[in-house]
Structure 1
């Protein structure tokens, strides 16, 4: 696709027909999924154990994302995303039709309803990372930010429209038609995918499933900035998700509303979320990311705590609009900073882990808030959740999210090609890379401090083990050794996993070293003599230099 210079309109991606129709299809499909969640919750809202059942519906819809998001992210990179999405929609239709038929026949006990909800959530776990990855194929790079914001709008439009539509249908015809409507919504996206005349796509070599899965988890585990961002997300999500889990009870017990009134409450949350998505760019002109997160959490806490203190629908609606704004401002700011920080080679997998934390926190916390409500009452539960959200805002003064707008995360193959006298097969391993450093006594302390950053760099780019040794016979000599699972994995370190940050870490370390570090590749002993380098002695100096 051609790229044009100059400012990009927020609506520019809609000029791409494929993006517009697929975006619309995803909106319609998401409307059906949100309507299904509301129908499932309302089906048992009058049950004696409603506080537990309605919160378990939320858990059953979000738990699959926690369990399946990372494998789904790997699959989205391995298969044709168009047909993967089509297969998911076909699966959705079959599940939704069966759910509608059994509910209409009166054969839907709570356990079976939760099973069906979990099944639809499993499909959603595959849908989300696949669609996110597909966006980059639909618009040019200069329109990617606008397309991402439009996708955020689509999520919140669906969140507002789905519950409102479900409330209207339930009030007039009952719950089974909501499930049938869900099947129709899924069918719309399936038809769009079939009608899409997609240009032929040439796929680059994909990483094997299991190594790709492990590499993504290893990166997040050894990158403190990503862990800090995810922890900040979790501290907000664990109490804030009570707004979604307890809203049916707020509607029925606090405000005495029927299904259509509940739909209006849900729509107010969605409208606030859409306002947050559209206005956040303006807010960030005046506040840093941490300022936005603090403001969003405090406003959410005050509004949510007030919901159980007001006597009627019309006072609750504006409070829930504020809650929706605070929710979206927090989530969009965190995902934006995470995307800006992540290098391209691991972005999809790290985003999948983000989704696991995002929805996993809801899956874990929702039934807890249900139990608190069952034991202590609705008002106590909501006020406790609001207080904890406010505490998360105060904690954010210490747990600050880094500002990543100007960080260069493009890949840098500064190691150069690997030239060895013996080259193993791609899947041979493990491979041990050993690097010799000569360090003078006056530079030793600074060198050891710099090597701690080096350890994180090696581990997050693919190493499964890292050690630093000192030579007993020569006090000035140190050996860094890091192990990589396979030769192919080590080549990926050379070809695209390193960034300017990794190069800066190496430069800072080598500034304390005498001469040029010397690297050696320790290969499996059975490596055949199948590739002879004309200058084997040069290979040592080319590794990390």
Structure 2
């Protein structure tokens, strides 16, 4: 997972025209997002001094991704992704207009501010899985880590540019003009997406139901040992790491002049550190494994958070924010690449949405938790507690569930033979039974293989139940039972076969000792207990 082939250059994906257009549009959208976040956080610090209300700005921004992450991933796999992207661009542009009007008319309250931040987050929630699913379609697979690093660089360059622009505009003209600029950039992005002549997206003739589509994305991740490890690291990192950003407006008021420019300078320094790290990230990825990068990044973020929490000097805080930004992208990009490389194309948007739900849900929960802790014990002590738990938790996870470094070959492959039925049923569960005969000396190995690798593979592909049955009278006879929700779902499995699935099938057949291949029977389930 961590030893993906290195691209010729960190900038190689930008040579692809479609990726370049999407990247530039995403950069503009990210600048708008960070300007919106900085303006909203600073406005809240003016409306109320409460650490809880201030930290709730980050919660409101991230919560929509937690709520809508799974549905948005399912929609991205069912509908045309560019059309969804256009719709979300319209949404965030309209929200920027509403934010600007509320600020111009001086009707903004803490409650209204949080609602508007939440609405802006809705656009982010529906956009993230679409971008994650589009990217692998536009570039060669070996360039995927560099492409994801460039996307992270876009986010972090905007984290540098957005706060600077917001700070200058707020000081010179007022926060309402930040939202006016967001509106203008939103319209430019809308024009760019509307002018993109993109190839049509391949979709199933009869798409899955939305509820099942969401369940399948979650099921795939939960039955992948490597993806579960990535998910646990993501949750803990953002749950504890969110404390710094959530409470940063409070620290900014205690540093330097304590103005909007101070807050913007801290945010810009974080973005600058992330941007610098992006340029050397391919080299670091070749030198270190996934866990080594995650550990080093976590340690850097934890120590820089401690320093920012207790220093009273802007001269010290700025370099620490540079380190924090570099650490943030080192860990975030490493985990994101690991997640993307562990997903086949047919479920990539849904799988990545699970990762985004975990990331944003943990960030939203962390912001609220550490904001409340800051009310009780103060912002500096709350950040210190978060940083200590961050470093301890990631160290425990890396030791408990280490990255194996293996990469599954998820290249699409054709099934040897599609299933047939005299009269394909229109409804009802389909049960497939596969009978194996196994030599006595290989029975234990067969059982271990089937109950682990084979079971996980079958469940990842979308079946609703799986069993391995052993004959009580013939100890060499086993029956594998696979249950699908319908005949249509059963046939879909054969369109989703990857090279890794074929390798597992060959290994499974290698255990069979009968004179012919394993016997396969299919039934329509008429009733259940």
Q: Check 1:308–1:138 CA distance in 2 against 1; reply closer, same or farther (3 A cut).
A: same
Please report the RMSD computed on the Cα atoms of aligned residues, expressed in angstroms: 2.4
Return the alpha-carbon distance in structure 2 between the equivalents of residues 77 and 329 of structure 1.
28
Any idea what the Cα deviations from partners look like across 1:269-320, whole Å, max 9, x if unmatched? 1111112222111223322221111111111111111112222111110011
Could you tell me the TM-score, scaled by structure 1's length? 0.89
Match of 1:45 in 2: 45
Match of 2:484 in 1: 484
Match of 2:220 in 1: 219
Match of 2:115 in 1: 115
Return the alpha-carbon distance in structure 2 between the equivalents of residues 177 and 400 of structure 1.
49
Match of 2:67 in 1: 67
Any idea what the Cα deviations from partners look like across 1:386-445, whole Å, max 9, x if unmatched? 1112213421233322324x532213334522234x2414x5331001122234544333
Q: CA deviation at 1:7?
A: 6.8
Return the alpha-carbon distance in structure 2 between the equivalents of residues 499 and 403 of structure 1.
18
Match of 1:230 in 2: 231
Match of 2:450 in 1: 451
Contact 1:85 1:127 in 2 (8 A): yes
Match of 1:523 in 2: 524
Residue correspondences, number: 516
Match of 1:533 in 2: none
Q: CA deviation at 1:8?
A: 4.2
Match of 2:467 in 1: 467
Q: CA deviation at 1:380?
A: 0.5
Match of 1:34 in 2: 34
Return the alpha-carbon distance in structure 2 between the equivalents of residues 156 and 447 of structure 1.
49
Q: CA deviation at 1:157?
A: 0.8
Could you tell me the TM-score, scaled by structure 2's length? 0.91
Larger displacement relative to structure 2 (152-161 or 389-398):
389-398
Contact 1:156 1:274 in 2 (8 A): yes
Query: Which SS does the other structure have where 1:315 is aligned?
Result: helix
Return the alpha-carbon distance in structure 2 between the equivalents of residues 394 and 199 of structure 1.
44
Match of 2:195 in 1: 195
Return the alpha-carbon distance in structure 2 between the equivalents of residues 377 and 283 of structure 1.
37
Match of 1:343 in 2: 344
Q: CA deviation at 1:142?
A: 6.1
Return the alpha-carbon distance in structure 1 between the equivalents of residues 154 and 462 of structure 2.
36
Any idea what the Cα deviations from partners look like across 1:234-282, whole Å, max 9, x if unmatched? 1211111111111111111355520011000001111111122221112
Relative contact order, higher structure (CA 8 A, sep 6+): 2
Contact 2:435 2:477 in 1 (8 A): yes
Runs of 4+ in 1 over 6 A off after TM superposition: none
Return the alpha-carbon distance in structure 1 between the equivalents of residues 499 and 225 of structure 2.
16
Contact 2:77 2:347 in 1 (8 A): no
Query: Which SS does the other structure have where 2:287 is aligned?
Result: coil
Contact 1:345 1:497 in 2 (8 A): no
Match of 1:274 in 2: 275
Unaligned runs of 5+ in 2: 1-5
Return the alpha-carbon distance in structure 1 between the equivalents of residues 419 and 279 of structure 2.
48
Return the alpha-carbon distance in structure 1 between the equivalents of residues 328 and 116 of structure 2.
27
1:205 aligns with 2:204: yes
Return the alpha-carbon distance in structure 1 between the equivalents of residues 136 and 342 of structure 2.
17
Q: Check 1:221–1:269 CA distance in 2 against 1; reply closer, same or farther (3 A cut).
A: same
Contact 2:97 2:180 in 1 (8 A): yes
Return the alpha-carbon distance in structure 1 between the equivalents of residues 9 and 508 of structure 2.
44
Any idea what the Cα deviations from partners look like across 1:19-57, whole Å, max 9, x if unmatched? 434322221221111111111111121455531112111
